[in-house]
Chain A
């Protein structure tokens, strides 16, 4: 156990060292020579003023030209309602209004979840606007982009994620700095609106921090591992140690996450995606107690390209082992879920999930459950979902039957779909 801790630490520290060093190197190679910047300042300012004036004039005359063209076109349209075959010149690119040029891509996603049926542990409220997620995403400068995801729920405003990404550091280190969801398994990294169900699996609730999950402030470094056979990506992350699972008592106690992802196409329609994850950090029970999580995940996807908008099949399983440190010794618990999904029409998807998980701090208690999920998507931007969930809680005699329903709706810039 000590040995792997050293390995994870070394990997993470090496990653951080590189992140600190590499931008300097890149900056030195690409930035303007410092000497010229310190040249006679007065002259340069005069030059700049002249240039600015020239630009302003040029801009003004261009705007005037565009305005007159628009007026001419509007006139022409009014005169001849027939759509005049307007051959737009090759350079016309329909620029957006100038003020919007540098606005980030913004979107708001509403997530409404309702629940019916008796639930012993309270469970989801009957009707609940669970959260609204606001996203702001844009390129920062030639070296980086930034992504912010802010969640508003009825009681709180939270930064779900907010990080800068350096996609092109030398050495192929894809580096993120900020608050992120940990790269632990599949379901932990997903925002609620990208999950294929209205809730999170039992194993998330019991072992990896529930709805909030593992999310923390830190640094992430991911690199492709070149090999002739498959896609292999290793990710090392260092976090403050302030999440639902990890709580660092002092500044020097960090939390570490390592993730390895392997992916291979099995033909153009089918592919397989495997992952292994490890997370380690203090759990806050005492100053010395730590928690270690191990996870494996496997996904098989099938989507025929000729009918890609009409059908797909997905099978996914995740298993997580938790070793939760207590003053009297460590508690070992294991849990997982299996999920099958089939899209049977352009707008309809059905899913089946099996849940089974012990509880991290009470390993003797094993909760089991199953869900049937039906999702209807009127368009890419909204969905309606119904989920029948049956759960046998370890400390309850009879199983719980619940019906969840969800409305998800998105407005704003069309973000890319995670794969």
Chain B
């Protein structure tokens, strides 16, 4: 009898009735924003990392455990971005639905286009290298579309009664994103091949998509703070290639970038790689609107080529 009761309960839990909201926990605000696009008012979405926080170093605070305990769906960036903090949270959530490999666990990277997948031997001498490829893939709008589609599929499986609703929300997002992409492509068209320097390797997908050429990084190796020798080499390279733009994620110290800027005349741009990085970036599309406008303004002002 008791077994039957538990079986019945688990069936009920797996398929909430129509109109009920799906509780979604996303590891970053970007994934939360994409989930909101698709989930609309049928999904209650929260995120762990803030957009102005380094997503590699998030603290596994117990308050997140409480939120994850109630989640029907967990959406993660994957590619080991969250390896330092998410596994204990998942375990302590005691929530069978969102364990790795369970139905309510979505690794958003699985359908995305991933760059910088290392080939051959990798060691930590290369810094904090991600063996499964660069995890900052959400900075290509086409990956945003792919992730949104994966989220739509998951939401539809979690709440089958609302599948049509999620599909129409996705179609609408896809359309708006397509229009925005035309706008962004037109905006960036004159600057194909523009050389830039970035602090961390956060922008390969962004650069790939919008035709930028990243010629160097402020970090000598991923995750390793700037060293004087590397900085001197970088300054020489920036001068040699006449680079005018230096992108810095909002969670890094500006001291070294600014001294590079003073030495070379390059403009230091604090550019958020995530939704919520600054107040104005409230959703996935405004993330690109904000960043590309910032970039184009700086290009025009510095005469970068």
Q: Please determine whether chains A and B interact with each other in the same assembly.
A: yes
- Interface residues in A399-419 by Cβ distance below 8 A to B read 411, 414, 416-419
Q: How far is the CA of A306 from the CA of B255 in the complex (A)?
A: 15
* Segment with Cβ contacts to A, from B14-22, B34-42, B108-116, B290-298: B108-116
* Segment with Cβ contacts to A, from B58-66, B155-163, B183-191, B280-288: B58-66
Can you spell out 30 A-B residue pairs with CB atoms less than 8 angstroms apart? A28-B3, A29-B6, A29-B7, A87-B113, A88-B115, A91-B111, A92-B117, A139-B100, A165-B91, A167-B94, A167-B99, A168-B94, A168-B95, A169-B94, A224-B69, A231-B63, A231-B66, A263-B61, A263-B62, A265-B63, A303-B59, A305-B50, A308-B59, A308-B251, A309-B251, A309-B252, A416-B84, A416-B85, A416-B87, A418-B88
Known: A92-B114, A168-B99, A224-B65. A416 touches B60 (CB 8 A): yes
Tell me, yes or no, whether A310 is within 8 Å of chain B by CB: yes
- Interface residues in A378-394 by Cβ distance below 8 A to B read 379-381
**Closest CB-CB distance, B79 to chain A, in whole Å?**
9
Tell me, yes or no, whether B223 is within 8 Å of chain A by CB: yes
Q: Which residues from chain A contact B113 at a C-beta distance below 8 Å?
A: 87-88, 90
Interface of B is mostly: loop
**Closest CB-CB distance, B143 to chain A, in whole Å?**
9
Tell me, yes or no, whether A123 is within 8 Å of chain B by CB: no
Q: How far is the CA of A139 from the CA of B146 in the complex (A)?
A: 29
**Closest CB-CB distance, A307 to chain B, in whole Å?**
7
Tell me, yes or no, whether A93 is within 8 Å of chain B by CB: yes
**Closest CB-CB distance, B101 to chain A, in whole Å?**
7
Q: Which residues from chain B contact A167 at a C-beta distance below 8 Å?
A: 90-94, 99
Q: Which residues from chain A contact B115 at a C-beta distance below 8 Å?
A: 88
Q: Which residues from chain A contact B84 at a C-beta distance below 8 Å?
A: 380, 414, 416-417
Tell me, yes or no, whether A172 is within 8 Å of chain B by CB: yes
Contact with B along A284-300 (1 / 0, CB 8 A): 00000000000000000
The closest CB in chain A to the CB of B226 belongs to A346
Q: Which residues from chain A contact B2 at a C-beta distance below 8 Å?
A: 25
Q: Which residues from chain A contact B92 at a C-beta distance below 8 Å?
A: 167, 174
A-to-B contact residues, CB < 8 Å: 25, 28-29, 85, 87-88, 90-94, 139, 142, 145, 165, 167-170, 172-174, 224, 231, 233, 261, 263-265, 268, 271, 273, 303, 305-310, 346-347, 379-381, 411, 414, 416-419
How many of chain B's residues have a CB under 8 angstroms from any CB in A? 57
Known: A174-B92, A308-B54. A231 touches B65 (CB 8 A): yes
Give the number of residue pairs across the A-B interface with Cβ within 8 Å: 126
Tell me, yes or no, whether B265 is within 8 Å of chain A by CB: no
Q: Which residues from chain A contact B90 at a C-beta distance below 8 Å?
A: 167
Q: How far is the CA of A251 from the CA of B110 in the complex (A)?
A: 52
Q: Which residues from chain A contact B88 at a C-beta distance below 8 Å?
A: 416, 418-419
Q: How far is the CA of A87 from the CA of B95 in the complex (A)?
A: 37
The closest CB in chain A to the CB of B2 belongs to A25
Q: How far is the CA of A264 from the CA of B63 in the complex (A)?
A: 7
The closest CB in chain A to the CB of B133 belongs to A94
**Closest CB-CB distance, A352 to chain B, in whole Å?**
22
Tell me, yes or no, whether B10 is within 8 Å of chain A by CB: yes
**Closest CB-CB distance, A1 to chain B, in whole Å?**
31
Q: Is the CB of B65 within 8 A of A347?
A: no
Q: Which residues from chain B contact A173 at a C-beta distance below 8 Å?
A: 94
Known: A29-B10, A90-B112, A416-B84. A174 touches B94 (CB 8 A): yes
Q: How far is the CA of A308 from the CA of B124 in the complex (A)?
A: 22
